[in-house]
Structure 1
Amino acid sequence: MKSTTSIENESLKSYPEPEVSEASKKYFNGDTLAAEVWKNKYALKNGEGEYFERTPDNMHKRIAREFSRIENKYPTPLKEKEIYALLKNFNYIIPQGSPMAGIGNDFQISSLSNCFVIGVENDADSYGAIMSLDEELVQLMKRRGGVGLDLSSVRPKGSKVHNSALTATGIVPFMHRFSNSTREVAQGGRRGALMLTLSSKHPDALDFTKAKRDTTSVTGANISLKVDDEFIKAVKDHTQYIQQFPLNSEDPKLTKKIKAEDLWDEIIEGAWKSAEPGVIFWDTVQRESLPDRYHKHGFTTTSTNPCGEIPLCPYDSCRLLAINLYSYVKEPFTEKAAFDFDLFKDHVHKALRLMDDLVDLELEKVDNILKKIESDPEPDQYKNREKKLWTKIRNKTAKGRRTGLGVTGLGDMLAGLGIQYGSEASIILAEKVQKTLALSAYSSSVKLAEERGAFPVYDENLEKDHPFLNRIKDEAPEVIEGMKKFGRRNIAMLTIAPTGSTSLLTQTTSGIEPVFRIYYTRRKKVNDSSEVTGKQYFTDENGDKYEEFAIIHHKFRNWLSSKGFTDEEITQLKPKDLDKLIKDSPYRQSSSEHIDWKSKVKLQGKLQKWVDHSISVTVNLPEKTSREVISGLYMDAWEAGCKGITVYREGSRSGILVSDESKKSTDFQETIAPKRPEILDASVIQFLNNDEKWVAVVGLLNNKPYEIFTGRADDSFSILSKVKKGRVIKTKGKNGKNRYDFQYLDADGYKVTIEGLSRTFNEEYWNYAKLISGVLRHGMPLKYAVEMIDDLYLDAPTLNTWKNGVKRALLQFIPDGTIPTDNLCPNCKSPAMSYQESCLLCNNCGYSKCG
């Protein structure tokens, strides 16, 4: 069914990819990264790669039409134009991830849910039950959802089993199984995301905690330990702690006494070394969970989604939507700056309506998935498993109508108001904003219950004296009175989720995080010093000059403009100028490396009081941070009422962390490249350089890259577009210089020779290729060669895409695990990943593991 009140009635029209790139880049005011993220992740396109949206404006009209269609089913519907105005330009309301890509998208049969949790019935721990979980997580991930899975029902290592093994293998082998399944789904353009959790009460908790210590194990999953209050108190009191299995049994089959501090020290060691495991304060989660009051209806929370912001019961799911806080600052960066609470309240009411509409849209999507399963030609014995899975998800979605309304842009909101992030004033204001959101959302849900009906299992008696509702009662008793009369439309509705990709599109800070970096610099070599006259430049030790470009945070540019700087003047600012300006700006001491962790934890704890789900946030710490500081941080987070905590110590996930100092040497050792044979075997890799098809020919010596050639496929390389391997022959040309020819066998077994591989190079490409070939010939490990290529300062868009293509070509020869996958972007293969909001974000292409 199509809306009849459409803003723009037009037939579906396709656009060529170059036009989409150019138009979306213009839409984002020249921000290539934002344009590419939108085009690749959210623009409407079919399976053949045809684009049917030219800019995000087309996408926002598509989403507005669908929301309006659902609104028209109910009383007092929002108008399509009003919905479109809320979405337009990413100003106010932003559906995240799956909803943005999937609403109104008939080309994909996928879910609109960002996250799911699965589980076994009655804590079954048989192989059959565990294998069913493995199948279910794959089925969900292929529909785009991230999955959470608790392992606490799995028998601990050494337990008796009634099969030929005699004893159970424990938790860790199943961690590897689920991780590997996730990595398999992540291949071929799909993205898998998995959270594995375990209770601290489980006898295998220590093994679970240490499972990812070397950064090469369980790489397809995030892991978090669910610690209870009893455990935390035992750590503080230096006493013993009892583990048992089954966890909640009054007559457990296995009990184990441990020194609580021993397990705690391993948790801290893991956080210090590799940022995992995260910690979930499970008793706090359950005390504060409204859905858990409905445990008899199947709403017992067991795990969280991959980034920890949505604790869920098995087979429930959640959809995410964020409100851009910066857009509610009136006259930002001026003395008149103020937060528009009236507009904010109005928009929160409408945002919650749209979130409830999103539940209806998801139910439609699940129905389509069930129809697709029914029509599939495979035998019923296979189809029935997937059908049963989605039926359970549909029932739980309809029963609770759970939503995930959150915020983004807090860091820029504070700066726009002239308030320093992390200050006492910033925490007070942030709490006021989140409290306003919570009260307005719950008020809206009560109004929706009056108009549309309460969620099916709503029962006022089950929610008596709930701490979250008591806080609402103290601030807005009329909301609770309305709830007693009409009920509530949604079982739970608030979160603060990672907004990695979303923040690139809003061009703001992410979630409740501070700005990651206010600026960073790139350099481009110039051959003629006259070219940099009047411009900033850097001169290296060889006297070579490089023009410097500052990549500046969008809203800091706005502050500069408010101080009278023109775009041209901003472009010419040198790093030392920027550093001085930052000190005089509202962004002073407000980037992630400057934020005091105590203020970050205090902020999270204050906001958590007004979030009925949880908060995804990462505390970034300097490399020299001690284990004792991290231990104190975790204790402070528990005492502040946080539901979970994740830290990232700078450099802790870059590979092997501990080295033998005695083996280090500062002596310079010269290397001699092996002489090049006349003939080298070669592999051919195809890639895109902007919109052009290119190929890379990698010459191999002893099966390792020795040299590389690249060229455009529409020139003399066109014949290589379908060639996979051949050989490179080194000869002398008529001018006496070296010439490299490529030779391969065609389909009929005839030798085909392409003369002069360097023919299509322009000078800059050729110089960089010679540099890369030189370091390869002298034996630089591929890991470091790729990192060197990634660090090349290439400002021209074509050079950047050429660089990415060369990296992809070389990465084909790196075995899995050689480069830690936490640092390697699965999209662009660049080792440019950083931690933001419990989420990995690629600073090269904008890929986000969980955004």
Structure 2
Amino acid sequence: MSSETDRMTSLFDVKTASYTQDEAFKASVKYFNGDELAARVWVNKYALKDSKGNIFELTPDDMHKRLTKEIARIENTYANPLSEEEIYAVLKDFKYIVPQGGPMSGIGNDMQISSLSNCFVIGNDRDSDSYGGIMKIDQEQVQLMKRRGGVGHDLSHIRPSGSPVKNSALTSTGLVPFMERYSNSTREVAQDGRRGALMLSVSIKHPDAESFIDAKTEQGKVTGANVSVKIHDDFMQAVVEEDTYVQQYPIDAPNPRYTKEINAKSLWDKIVHNAWRSAEPGILFWDTIIKESVPDCYADLGYKTVSTNPCGEIPLCPYDSCRLLAINLYSYVQNPFLEDASFDFDLFRKHVRLAQRIMDDIIDLELEKIQGIIDKIKSDPEDDEVKRIEMNLWKNIAQKAKEGRRTGVGITAEGDMLAALGLRYGSETAIDFSTEVHKTIALEAYRSSVELARDRGAFPMFDIEREKDNPFINRLKDADPQFYEDMKEYGRRNLACLTIAPTGTTSLMTQTTSGIEPVFLPVYKRRRKVNPNDKDVRIDFIDEVGDHWEEYVVYHHKFQDWMKTKGYDTDKNYSNEEIDKLVEESPYYKATSNDIDWVSKVKMQGQIQKWVDHSISVTVNLPNDVSEELVGELYIEAWKSGCKGCTVYRDGSRAGVLVSNDKKEEEAKAPSKRPRELEADVVRFQNNKEKWIAFVGLYDGKPYEIFTGIADDEEGIMLPKTVEKGVIIKNRNEDGSSRYDFQFQNKRGFKVTIEGLSYKFNPEFWNYAKLISGVMRHGMPVVDMIGLISSLQLNNDSINTWKNGIERTLKKYVADGTKAQGRECQACGSESVVYQEGCLICKDCGSSKCG
């Protein structure tokens, strides 16, 4: 063995020394030039570690050598292998090619038995809506998530609510209960400190589509899944023409067993409203997805696309999976931020071909990983019957990976690339340039796949005749006829090649903008979650679930590079006014996620989508005060522009991690730990023939807790009818147990205390009240609290009466004019129902309903 070979063996050998968390963190901070966030992300998510938490890599450079060694091992099984130097050169420092997620953490990692795939879609071979079929999907989902994978599956095969079934239930419960089942399963699976990721989809043709769309509007329901609606062209046409639309089950049957005619515009408005309110559901333009899909040319061979992964960028057939890789676009800009900045297309083309080749190597590494999982299942002590579903799952996944060899070559740093070239994100010039970049990726990745087919063999099903009418393939043919002739001769190694995924943690390590997105803000505040035991920290924000966060100012890395290029001192403590002036001078001005004109964003997505065979994960950011009508117009424009999907985020519709630097301080939220004393209102009402009383503890004038029950002058609360206010005091009994006392001032000015409210009310009512108070204390808006209570399914008649009392009491705290979500006017059917002095008033017909 030569000395040169000895040198390379030592360079790329995986180290076996272990390091402490602190050692790896400090070394990685130095590696990332002081970027603690990037260092923390790498150490926590990607450094090689065993199940006990021992760390075996000191910096990302060790990881890149680990990846290099394994990819080179696969290369050496084929003709004309890449050298370790060639592989390492494009991986090191996150500069050019960045394997994402599963590949980054799993390649060369023999300490964990997990898949390299980032995402999967599952489903039954037939559209089975039996309990057996539904439970099978539930188990498959969990088995995948425990191996780190994100999962998607479609619910369109489940029969609608009220359909007859041949069991003791007599009729079907519909989609929503199974949405909750799958969601709860997701929340139960731990993935090294994170929860699993799930996408649930349903066709707009399905009669339960409206229930599906509304499921997440109920607080606390379906919290473990993203939801998207598969929209068809005929539905969109009915929306535009304000026509009726026929839903059916089964959704694709020529002679369906059940049909339902709906107003397309009404259902569309509900989709738009929910997306405006909470960023969900997402929309999948399904006819566009299927028409453009290269894998669907082989639908009859098992490659019919049925759903997408959790972020929507990979439409997949059942049991197919995909691994992700990002190309760092910023690194191909020569002389960034200078007048003579340019894009190195020659180097870029070379690296795209390398990226596709490395992705094909990663498929072989994945097949090894899957075999390891199968061997582990075989060796498990459970009965074969217990292991059967898990075993068949991984065999099916292995088959699809081996047959189709699907890859997911994508990008990151699109926003920084454009800024470094002096192009404003969203402008016509920038859109044209980005489109040319993605056209180049498509041509070179597919060219590389043809070259791989020549050297390694095509995927076994390849048939040029099947693909001859595919729009995407024909675009490549028109752009490069010689490529198409080569593909006819050699075939193609990979069924499909491209995607644009979100690159959250990846972009933190490349220190660039994420994926295809523009910069969030050149200067922003980041929130860091504060643990209860942290000392000497500042609490700046408490979120809706009571978690505490600290905020600090951060400069976007490439904005700092621009500052250095222009001679600005990056260590100076600038005022907000000075920062604003700097931003105005920079190429990031008017090019942030909240600045981009939504039409331009959608147009850009539609243009680039033509050169991406899978899909694009992109979010259109909108200001808080945008109208619902504008969201609807955006979706229609996305459909017309050829987008495969669209997601909107209205500022403030969800609590996030990033906030603008000059945003006003968040309104203080009530503390999760109850103060000893709270001002309280007394509310009396009558339910049927029963007299009821409620005590509402207030914090800053808003409901913080509520205790209510039947008022009984002999055994219950003896309180003068003139008492309307007081104080609820939390005290302790002699045995250490807590109690709640109510104190008020009588007409003579003396304080009177009624001890032990909890002893005065029925214990069952009291426990329900404590549960609801616990939710209320974490800041749930009162109108949402009313909706939650209204949705409770309680069989006990007395408890239902109590539930009505809680609702009536809380309505007095809802601001006049607040829309009553999910309520329809019983007189005219309008959804324009608002609260007014505790009553529900229809703005369209004027009818009212109190109580």
Contact 1:94/1:321 (8 A) holds in 2: yes
Corresponding letter in the other structure for 1:553: H
Query: What is aligned with 2:621?
Result: 620
Out of 547, 554, 559, the residue aligned to residue 556 of structure 1 is 559
C-alpha displacement of 1:310:
0.1
**Aligned positions of 1:336-355 closer than 5 A:** 336-355=340-359
Contact 1:6/1:80 (8 A) holds in 2: no
CA distance in structure 2 between the partners assigned to 1:385 and 1:667 by the alignment: 55
Contact 2:68/2:87 (8 A) holds in 1: yes
Query: What is aligned with 2:67?
Result: 63
**Aligned positions of 1:412-811 closer than 5 A:** 412-520=416-524, 550-569=553-572, 572-654=573-655, 674=729, 783=778
CA distance in structure 2 between the partners assigned to 1:215 and 1:305 by the alignment: 24
Query: What is aligned with 1:687?
Result: none
Question: Does 2:365 match 1:394?
Answer: no
Q: Secondary structure at the match of 1:7?
A: helix
Q: Secondary structure at the match of 2:778?
A: helix
Deviations 1:126-185 (A, max 9, x none): 111111000000000001100011001100111111111111110111000100000111
C-alpha displacement of 1:702:
6.0
Structure 1 residues 386 and 574: CA distance shift in structure 2, 3 A: same
CA distance in structure 1 between the partners assigned to 2:649 and 2:265 by the alignment: 22
Q: Secondary structure at the match of 1:153?
A: coil
C-alpha displacement of 1:784:
6.0
Out of 11, 22, 27, the residue aligned to residue 23 of structure 1 is 27
Contact 2:14/2:66 (8 A) holds in 1: no
Corresponding letter in the other structure for 1:551: V
Query: What is aligned with 2:666?
Result: none
CA distance in structure 2 between the partners assigned to 1:170 and 1:414 by the alignment: 48
Out of 155, 159, 163, the residue aligned to residue 155 of structure 1 is 159
Corresponding letter in the other structure for 1:24: S
CA distance in structure 2 between the partners assigned to 1:44 and 1:10 by the alignment: 10
Query: What is aligned with 1:201?
Result: 205
Which range is displaced more, 240-249 or 186-195? 186-195
Question: Does 2:223 match 1:223?
Answer: no
Question: Does 2:305 match 1:273?
Answer: no
Contact 2:229/2:283 (8 A) holds in 1: yes
Structure 1 residues 221 and 615: CA distance shift in structure 2, 3 A: same
C-alpha displacement of 1:665:
12
Structure 1 residues 487 and 379: CA distance shift in structure 2, 3 A: same
Out of 101, 106, 109, the residue aligned to residue 97 of structure 1 is 101
Contact 2:160/2:249 (8 A) holds in 1: yes
C-alpha displacement of 1:214:
3.0
Out of 351, 359, 365, the residue aligned to residue 369 of structure 2 is 365
CA distance in structure 2 between the partners assigned to 1:129 and 1:44 by the alignment: 38
Out of 315, 323, 327, the residue aligned to residue 319 of structure 1 is 323
Larger Rg: 2
In structure 1, list runs of 5 or more residues that go unmatched.
Answer: 525-547, 656-662, 682-699, 704-778, 786-851
Corresponding letter in the other structure for 1:155: R
CA distance in structure 2 between the partners assigned to 1:680 and 1:616 by the alignment: 58
CA distance in structure 2 between the partners assigned to 1:642 and 1:16 by the alignment: 47
CA distance in structure 2 between the partners assigned to 1:522 and 1:78 by the alignment: 41
Query: What is aligned with 1:726?
Result: none
Query: What is aligned with 1:822?
Result: none
Q: Secondary structure at the match of 1:462?
A: coil
Structure 1 residues 586 and 254: CA distance shift in structure 2, 3 A: same
C-alpha displacement of 1:568:
2.8
CA distance in structure 1 between the partners assigned to 2:446 and 2:341 by the alignment: 28
C-alpha displacement of 1:216:
2.2
C-alpha displacement of 1:680:
10
CA distance in structure 2 between the partners assigned to 1:273 and 1:252 by the alignment: 34
Contact 1:195/1:305 (8 A) holds in 2: yes
Contact 1:316/1:396 (8 A) holds in 2: yes
Q: Secondary structure at the match of 1:413?
A: helix
Contact 1:414/1:421 (8 A) holds in 2: yes
CA distance in structure 2 between the partners assigned to 1:680 and 1:343 by the alignment: 76
Corresponding letter in the other structure for 1:226: K
C-alpha displacement of 1:523:
13
Deviations 1:3-61 (A, max 9, x none): 98463346511112211110011111111111111100000000111100000010010
Q: TM-score, normalised by structure 1?
A: 0.75
Corresponding letter in the other structure for 2:356: L
Contact 2:12/2:69 (8 A) holds in 1: no
Contact 2:324/2:410 (8 A) holds in 1: yes
**Aligned positions of 1:117-128 closer than 5 A:** 117-128=121-132
Structure 1 residues 64 and 215: CA distance shift in structure 2, 3 A: farther
CA distance in structure 2 between the partners assigned to 1:120 and 1:600 by the alignment: 37
CA distance in structure 2 between the partners assigned to 1:521 and 1:114 by the alignment: 29
Contact 2:730/2:739 (8 A) holds in 1: no
Query: What is aligned with 1:35?
Result: 39
CA distance in structure 2 between the partners assigned to 1:92 and 1:665 by the alignment: 53
Deviations 1:632-681 (A, max 9, x none): 000000000000000011122359xxxxxxx9999799998958769997
Structure 1 residues 132 and 521: CA distance shift in structure 2, 3 A: closer
Query: What is aligned with 1:85?
Result: 89
Out of 108, 117, 130, the residue aligned to residue 134 of structure 2 is 130
Out of 52, 55, 58, the residue aligned to residue 54 of structure 1 is 58
Contact 1:99/1:319 (8 A) holds in 2: yes
Deviations 1:206-261 (A, max 9, x none): 11111111342100000000011010001111111111111111221111111111
Contact 2:24/2:57 (8 A) holds in 1: yes
Deviations 1:587-637 (A, max 9, x none): 111111111111100110010000000000011111111111000000000
Query: What is aligned with 1:335?
Result: 339
Higher relative contact order, structure no. (Cα contacts within 8 Å, ≥ 6 residues apart): 1
Query: What is aligned with 2:260?
Result: 256
CA distance in structure 2 between the partners assigned to 1:378 and 1:573 by the alignment: 63
Q: Secondary structure at the match of 1:25?
A: helix
Structure 1 vs Structure 2: percent identity of aligned residues?
58
Deviations 1:332-379 (A, max 9, x none): 010110011111000000000000001100000000000000011111
Corresponding letter in the other structure for 2:488: K
In structure 2, list runs of 5 or more residues that go unmatched.
Answer: 529-550, 657-695, 704-724, 741-773, 781-851
Q: Which runs of 4+ in 1 moved over 2 A?
A: 2-11, 186-191, 520-524, 565-569, 663-681, 700-703, 779-785
CA distance in structure 1 between the partners assigned to 2:341 and 2:135 by the alignment: 57
C-alpha displacement of 1:460:
1.1
Residue correspondences, number: 662
Q: Provide the alpha-carbon RMSD of the alignment.
A: 2.8
Contact 1:278/1:646 (8 A) holds in 2: yes
CA distance in structure 1 between the partners assigned to 2:465 and 2:327 by the alignment: 32
Q: Secondary structure at the match of 2:591?
A: coil
C-alpha displacement of 1:783:
2.9
CA distance in structure 2 between the partners assigned to 1:495 and 1:489 by the alignment: 17
